[in-house]
Structure 1
Amino acid sequence: MKKKEKKVVLVDIFFQHLAQTGIKTYTDNLLIQIERYKGDSFTFIITPSKESINKSKMFKGKTARWKNLWFQLRYFSHKLFVLPLLSIWYKADIVFSPDILSPIWSRGKRVSVIHDAFFWETPEHYNKLWRKFYLFLLLTGVKLGTKVITVSHYAKTTVAKYLPASSITAIPTGLDLEIKDQDENEQAPLPTPYFLHVGVMEKRKNLRMLIEAFAVFLERKESDYSLVLVGQRGPREALDDFDGILSLVKKHQLEEKVVFTGYLSNKQLSTYYKFAEAYVFPSINEGFGLPVLEAFSYGLPVLIGPQGALKEVGGNAVLVSERFEAKSFGAMMLKISEDSQLRTSLKQLGYQRLSLFTGQKFLLSLTDYFNSITNE
């Protein structure tokens, strides 16, 4: 009997040259799952190679304007010309783009991952001409048959306002996160209990409201608490909110209470997670919410605002404020700080929630989807 020929999936990770947040985490996890893949249905080809991405530092961090322009030129050239030619060279059955944009034409099926609806909902955060061209290519690609995956059912609902719902399939992200307990030899990074937030300081993260909520919390809490903000400034000036956050810290005289750590190594970050009282995530706009799962893996209670994707991921394992307001969020911070039984309950629920979003389940759903579209 003739051996079944594997279908070729060309996975484009060019955007990893620049990616720093959600798309980077999604793609990194995807590559881990691909390395573990033992099935006989697909051959995955990664372009460019992980090694070349890791060696390249030109577009990492806060970059000069000319570098941004140079990246955009290379990026669009890659999508429009290089990737289609590679699809022919490798005889691809699927061209998979985890970074939103697929080529307009290629050999095989084209699949894009759209993580959120930011391009449509917050146009002020993007260069007008760049955004217009980007959306033109995206919409043209969908009209010409590009399939779309979203990272959550919430994201599918929001993206379907702008793209045909028939082209969209929700495949929730999954991570292989081990339960991480405190090491008896580890020491807490701070002498006081603290709330933790991890992420770039972009406006959509709603960290100004978090500062206001922390001030409300301190007015009602006699014990000494800190707020730890791990992460760097937003990568683009239009998105960055660091100066506004710092201004509020000074306004409320919280310089000794709010800790800005900047970038941390994985080991340092792990220590901050392990000793935190709770993870606070008041973001107003997310497509999925990977930090929620990360916090669950450390046994942390998680506090979020009423945001759809975060509620979908967190389920019954998170506390949700009634509104995106300082008083509402501050009251929730007070509640979690005073109720040890609630903290223990949320810890166990978080562990259970993790089992719904594993990397194995994610890749299984993805390969099932690839099989379905190649058999159409």
Structure 2
Amino acid sequence: MALTPAPLLLNLAVLSPKPTGISVYARQVVPHLRDLQPLVLSAQPWPDLDRRSIPANLTPAQGSRGHLQRLLWTQFCLPQIYRQHRSTLIFSPLPEIPLGWGCRSVAMVHDLIPLRFPQRRSALTLYFRQVVPWVLRQAVHLLCNSQATALDVIRRFRIPEHKITPIPLAYDAQHFRPLGLPRRNYFLYVGRPDPHKNVERIIRAFALVPGERELWLVGGYDRRYTPQLQGLGVALGLGDRLRFLDYVPHGDLPRLYGQALALVFPSLWEGFGLPVLEAMACGTPVITSNGSALPEVAGDAALLVDPYGVGDIAAAMGAIADDQGLAPQLTAAGLAQVQRFSWQKTGAATAQILGDLLGR
């Protein structure tokens, strides 16, 4: 059945009620695509945009089942919607597009971490090995969230450079801002406990920092990794100084960032690193890695460390704790650095690419 023509489809099947990186990206970029008159494919309402409702069980909130259901929906239902609306382009905020159906698609690639840090019996690693290469080759254009991710895609898959546009992410300046709250005596990590996030070395480094400071780990319980990290804290004698916090609502993050001594984010690899940008926007000093995309985000406004060096991480934490003048310097530099990033810039650059491909 032919429906109202919609040249541009926005495939937002991945959006979860509890937004993390990809959901935050999509929610911030989509409003800037309004002039292209897209049709949003989503289970959730989108004010001021035309929407076609799709099943609500396709998100990471449903675990592995949700990912599998979304993969099947993308390959077998999305092409039908494309034909019904006589569409000419699909935009997906992650590397998921219909394969072999002749649907012109643009995908955002956030990172290749499942290939850099493969896990046995991981469905995500299998997907990146078996499906993502086809996605990258069949897409008419690719967006990447950093130069580091773009180089990863070019080198690993030999994708032509002209087919890729790096467009950095950003932060919500109305939400993430200094609140003028007093600092409390804790270092902060925000993110999942996956091995490439380097949480074990953060804990080991913290154990080397003297004093009664605390380390707060925010990101939710993961039965694969959290028990071992908790056991490490016990073995190192950290006691109540090491706190594991569950998922923190988006609205509570500015206060959590703003009162921390520093964000400690020495990830082994990041496609971008939103917590670094968010923390700096809240006036919080940042310790992060000297590799992957993190120097692109932090610039000269953070302490860059070797993520494999526990002593290096500990020295940076100790410097911020002990040097009364260092934290204000990092705060000022961070607030200046984040001015380079805005969702308006990200959205406008994305709209330009999509508009060119639509012939507008």
- Considering the TM-score relative to the shorter chain, is it more than 0.5? yes
In structure 2, the gaps of 5 or more residues are: 46-51
Q: CA RMSD in A?
A: 2.9
Mean alpha-carbon deviation: is it higher for 46-55 or for 287-296? 46-55
Shift of 1:319: 0.6
Shift of 1:56: 4.5
Distance 1:299 1:152 in 2: 23
Does the residue aligned with 2:208 lie in a helix, a strand or coil?
helix
Mean alpha-carbon deviation: is it higher for 356-365 or for 118-127? 118-127
The code of the aligned residue for 1:96 comes to F
Distance 1:259 1:55 in 2: 37
- Inter-CA distance 287–256: structure 2 relative to 1 (3 Å threshold): same
Distance 1:71 1:9 in 2: 25
1:227 has 2:240 as partner:
no
Distance 1:229 1:355 in 2: 27
Q: Which residue of 1 aligns with 2:190?
A: 198
Does the residue aligned with 1:31 lie in a helix, a strand or coil?
helix
Instruction: Tell me, yes or no, if the aligned pair for 1:18 and 1:60 is still in contact at 8 Å.
Output: no
Q: Which residue of 1 aligns with 2:88?
A: 93
Shift of 1:342: 2.0
Alignment of 1:1-376 (within 5 A): 8-17=7-16, 21-34=20-33, 37=34, 39=35, 42-51=36-45, 56=56, 61=61, 68=64, 70-105=65-100, 109-124=104-119, 127=122, 131-132=125-126, 135-163=129-157, 164-166=159-161, 167-178=163-174, 180-182=177-179, 193-218=185-210, 223-234=211-222, 240-375=224-359
In structure 1, the gaps of 5 or more residues are: 1-5
Shift of 1:328: 0.8
Q: Which residue of 1 aligns with 2:49?
A: none
Mean alpha-carbon deviation: is it higher for 90-99 or for 137-146? 137-146
Instruction: Tell me, yes or no, if the aligned pair for 1:104 and 1:137 is still in contact at 8 Å.
Output: no
Instruction: Tell me, yes or no, if the aligned pair for 2:15 and 2:59 is still in contact at 8 Å.
Output: no
Does the residue aligned with 1:288 lie in a helix, a strand or coil?
coil
What is the CA deviation profile of residues 292-327 of structure 1, one whole-angstrom value per residue up to 9, with x for unaligned ones?
A: 111012100100122221111110111111452111
Does the residue aligned with 1:316 lie in a helix, a strand or coil?
coil
Mean alpha-carbon deviation: is it higher for 147-156 or for 103-112? 103-112
Question: TM-score by structure 1 length?
Answer: 0.82
Shift of 1:156: 0.7
Instruction: Tell me, yes or no, if the aligned pair for 1:318 and 1:346 is still in contact at 8 Å.
Output: yes
The code of the aligned residue for 2:97 comes to S
Percent identity, aligned pairs only, is 23
Does the residue aligned with 2:308 lie in a helix, a strand or coil?
coil
The code of the aligned residue for 1:152 comes to S
- Inter-CA distance 348–226: structure 2 relative to 1 (3 Å threshold): same
- Inter-CA distance 216–56: structure 2 relative to 1 (3 Å threshold): same
- Inter-CA distance 141–325: structure 2 relative to 1 (3 Å threshold): closer
Aligned length: 347
Shift of 1:7: 7.9
- Inter-CA distance 333–366: structure 2 relative to 1 (3 Å threshold): same
Distance 2:265 2:17 in 1: 24
The code of the aligned residue for 1:354 comes to V
- Inter-CA distance 182–200: structure 2 relative to 1 (3 Å threshold): same
Q: Which residue of 2 aligns with 1:3?
A: none
The code of the aligned residue for 1:307 comes to G
Instruction: Tell me, yes or no, if the aligned pair for 1:21 and 1:200 is still in contact at 8 Å.
Output: no
What is the CA deviation profile of residues 125-154 of structure 1, one whole-angstrom value per residue up to 9, with x for unaligned ones?
A: 5536x7545544433344445322111001
- Inter-CA distance 122–343: structure 2 relative to 1 (3 Å threshold): same
Shift of 1:30: 2.2
Instruction: Tell me, yes or no, if the aligned pair for 1:84 and 1:105 is still in contact at 8 Å.
Output: no
Shift of 1:291: 0.5
Distance 2:196 2:53 in 1: 28
Mean alpha-carbon deviation: is it higher for 171-180 or for 279-288? 171-180
The code of the aligned residue for 1:139 comes to P
Distance 1:356 1:125 in 2: 39
- Inter-CA distance 248–73: structure 2 relative to 1 (3 Å threshold): closer
Shift of 1:269: 3.4
